[in-house]
Each structure stands twice: as structure tokens, then as C-alpha cells.
Amino acid sequence: MAKIKSAYFCQNCGYESAKWLGKCPSCNEWNTFVEEVIEKPTAANSAVWKTSTGTQRVNKPSKLEEIQSASEDRLPTGDEELDRVLGGGLVPGSVTLIGGEPGIGKSTLMLQLALNIKQKRVLYVSGEESEQQIKMRAERITKTPKADCFILTETSTQNIFKQLEQLEPEVLIIDSIQTLHSAHIESTPGSVSQVRECTAELLRFAKETATPIFLIGHITKDGAIAGPKILEHMVDTVLQFEGDRHHIYRILRSIKNRFGAAAELGIYAMHGNGLREVSNPSEVLLSQRDEELGGITIGATIEGARPMVIETQALVSISAYGTPQRSATGFDTKRMNMLLAVLEKRCGFRLSAKDVFLNIAGGIKVEDPAIDLSIVAAIISSHEDIPVSSKICFAAEVGLSGEIRAVNRVEQRILEAEKLGFEKIFISSYNLKGINKDKFKIELVTVSKIEEVFSALFG
């Protein structure tokens, strides 16, 4: 009788060990090793697929100078937001991993993708829902279902590859990777070894048949994609689907992309009939108010290649418990504390005994330092209870010495503010090099120190 082969895997990072360890030498986490029965694939049970000509593909080494350069033929998905995040469309043979919280809309987004791609045969593999459930959701999305969209409810990768060989789809969607299991690994679905082996099999299929694949992945309570960290290194693109389930807006963010920029952003609105694209996010991220209110300013930011105008809200109040609170939603709390220190040191505002709360409207997270000036103006507006005009926009970084620093791609920010009807925009005086002020209808207010900003706003 053959001896059963087993190994120990770290549930946090996927590190493999021949024996149990208390502390993982890779990620330094304690008590994360679990034993899993493994079986190496043999010629009898290994997954083999053939090309459309019926022959198995064999790769041979080539000289770098002999390889011909060719432009990537991208496949449009029919979704402008998704195309933007992917870098212009689907690349043949690419593997894309989409993660997000339960109920955020990952399956709905992928089903819409399967229904919207034109003249392409799509196979939607689900290991979580029945065919009837998927049919009901498809009827809510569209009244005229696509003729060449196929649904398969299966969790065994060997059975999936048999159907792939017969159907030969041009796009493959897996919902989700944690539900699949391979006969090569004798462990439960969702374990580290199963997720890694199933992804490896699908990755080989994608590269050898030039079929783009979408993988839906669960996330942990910390917000990271469940499974070994190597999963994100194996795939070509990692997308994060974010948002609050109590709000209608969803954000699709690119974390890794081998075929495009890794800082792109797509915005959707969740309705009863599915996700709808938001083509102009600036209008969504600005609240409609009838009167001027203190503590609210507008900043111009850029996510990837897209300029956006967002609303920053600040509340400064007397600390009731002696220890001041510092809270920021959608912005780095450490950077907010730095800006508060600059205001106290350079401008004389006594904020050390005040509670300060900061919020980026619309549920978006911003890391662009160009909204520093907008945040500083909102804090002072709330502290002095003097409203800032809703026709004023800000686009500048604040330094530790109180100087107003230049930001990149300032012309795109100015044009976005001008398009939305703003009358003034505050920028750094160091941003004026190479800019023709006459071509803009909006008034450019240039400042070099933070004191100049407060003089212009509050007198």
C-alpha cells in the first residue's frame, strides 16, 4: 500500500513545510500551519488540453532578437469602466483576479460582463449558485439574454477542463476560485494547496489557449484576498471591488496590472437591475447643497488617468473628554495629523485640544497629496465657522514648513474644475511654469505659503 503524502501549509502566506512549525519563517505568524494531504499529478490524472488544431502545444526557446514585437489585441468588454481599469480591454491569455466583500456585487459584475461581450462565446462557471439562481439574476439585468453565454455549475477542475475542450469558450469566468478543487490535491476546497493548484491549472490553460480568464476571490476579515499571497503573484491583474453595501456606489480599483496602469479607478452605481457605469464621477462625489456650510471644501485629485473633483468635509469641535479625537474616513490619519501640526506650528491655530473629524464624500479613498490644501482649508473653515465658497477649488500639496508645493498634471485638474463650473482654483505658484493662464476661463489663484491662502479666503 502506497504511503499517503502530506505536508504542512501556512494558512496566511502559503509557505510549505515538511513538518509542523509553531511560527512561520516566511510571514512570522504563529499557529498558522495545517496538515494537508497532497498527491503529485501523474500522467494518468494530469489535466491535458489541446489547441484548436488538435495538437498539444510545445514551447521552444527563442532568441530575444528574433521575437517579433506586436501590439496587444485587446478585446472590448462592453463596459467602459472595466475597460479603463484593465488598461483598454481584455488581453488574450490574461488571468484577472477580482476580490471584494460578500454582497458587494462581484458576481453581478461578472455576469454583466458575460452578457455584454459581443460576438464572443463566454462560459460562466459557478461553484456557489445553481443555474436557476443565475438565470433569475440574469433576467433582472437584461430582458434579452445573450445567445452564446453558457452557464456551468461545477467545482471539479477536471470536469471543467472536459467541458472547456468541447465548448472552446473565448472568455472564461470562475465564481469563485475558493470553491474549486483538483483531484491532484487531497484536501478540502478553499485550502491553501487547493487554491494554489487550481489557479496554476487555470493559468496554464489561459496561457496555452490564449483564453482570458476572470477569477472571483473571497477576502479575509482584514480585507486581503483569501488564500496564499502567491495567488496575487501568479495572476496578471488584481482588481479590488470596494464600497459600502448601504450606499449605491461601488469602486473598482486596480491593484496590480501587467498590461496597464495599476492606479486606475472605475465607479459604478448599484441599482435593482444591476450595476450601472458612472461616466462623470465628479458630479457624484459632490453633494448638492442649497447654502454655504462651514468645513466643506472641494479638491481636485487624479486617480490613474482620470481627474476627479471631490468634496472634503471637516469638523472641529471642543474635546468633551479631555483627550482630543482624530478620525479620518477615506484619508490617511497620519497625514491628517501632520497637517494639523503644520497649522499649529506655522499658522498659530490652537488645534491640540480640539476634536478633528475628516471625511471624503462619496466613500472614496484618496492618497493623492494634491488634496492637502483642500483639507487644510476645510479644517480652518470649520474651526473659524466661516464657509468657503462652493465655486472655489483647491489643487496643491502642503509642506512641513507651510509652503504650498506643486503637484503633477495640474492642467488636467484645472480643466476638470473648469468643466464643472468652478470660478477659482488655488494652485501653487511653482506650477505656473509652462502654463498659459489665458487659455483657461477659470481664475487661477497662485499661492506659495499657507498664510496667503487664509488671507485670500478669510481676509
Return the domain boundaries, the chain. 6-38, 75-279, 284-458
Task: Answer yes or no: is 101 a known binding residue.
Answer: yes
Task: Answer yes or no: is 102 a known binding residue.
Answer: yes
Task: Answer yes or no: is 365 a known binding residue.
Answer: no
Task: Answer yes or no: is 104 a known binding residue.
Answer: yes
- For domain 284-458, the CATH architecture is 2-Layer Sandwich (3.30)
Domain 284-458 in the same topology as domain 75-279? no
Which of 62, 65, 75, 61 is CA-nearest to residue 259? 75
Task: Output the CATH code of domain 75-279.
Answer: 3.40.50.300
How far apart (Å, rounded) are the C-alpha atoms in residues 155 and 126?
8
Q: Which residue bears the cell 517579433?
A: 68
**Burial of 130: CB neighbours in 10 Å, binned 0-12, 13-18, 19+:** exposed
Contact partners, residue 201, CB within 8 Å, separation at least 6: 47, 157, 161, 182
How would DSSP label each residue in 31-42?
Answer: S-EEEEEE----
**Burial of 67: CB neighbours in 10 Å, binned 0-12, 13-18, 19+:** exposed
How far apart (Å, rounded) are the C-alpha atoms in residues 25 and 69?
42
The DSSP symbol for 56 reads: -
Computed over its alpha carbons, how large is the radius of gyration of the chain? 26
pLDDT tens for the chain, 459 residues long, are: 455 577 888 877 778 888 899 999 988 888 888 877 766 555 444 455 555 445 555 668 888 888 877 666 788 888 999 999 998 889 999 999 999 888 888 999 999 999 988 888 999 999 989 999 999 999 888 877 777 899 999 999 999 999 999 999 999 999 989 999 988 877 788 888 888 889 999 999 999 999 999 999 988 766 677 666 778 889 999 999 987 777 788 889 898 999 888 878 888 988 888 899 988 887 777 776 667 888 999 999 998 778 889 999 999 998 877 788 999 998 999 999 999 999 998 888 888 889 999 999 877 888 899 999 999 999 999 999 999 998 999 999 999 999 999 999 899 999 999 988 899 999 999 998 878 888 888 999 999 999 999 889 887
Task: Answer yes or no: is 260 a known binding residue.
Answer: no
Alpha helices in 117-239, H assignment, sequence order = 131-141, 157-167, 192-209, 230-234
Cell of 364: 472614496
178: left (phi over 0), alpha (psi -120 to 50) or beta: alpha
Task: Answer yes or no: is 93 a known binding residue.
Answer: no
**Burial of 162: CB neighbours in 10 Å, binned 0-12, 13-18, 19+:** middle
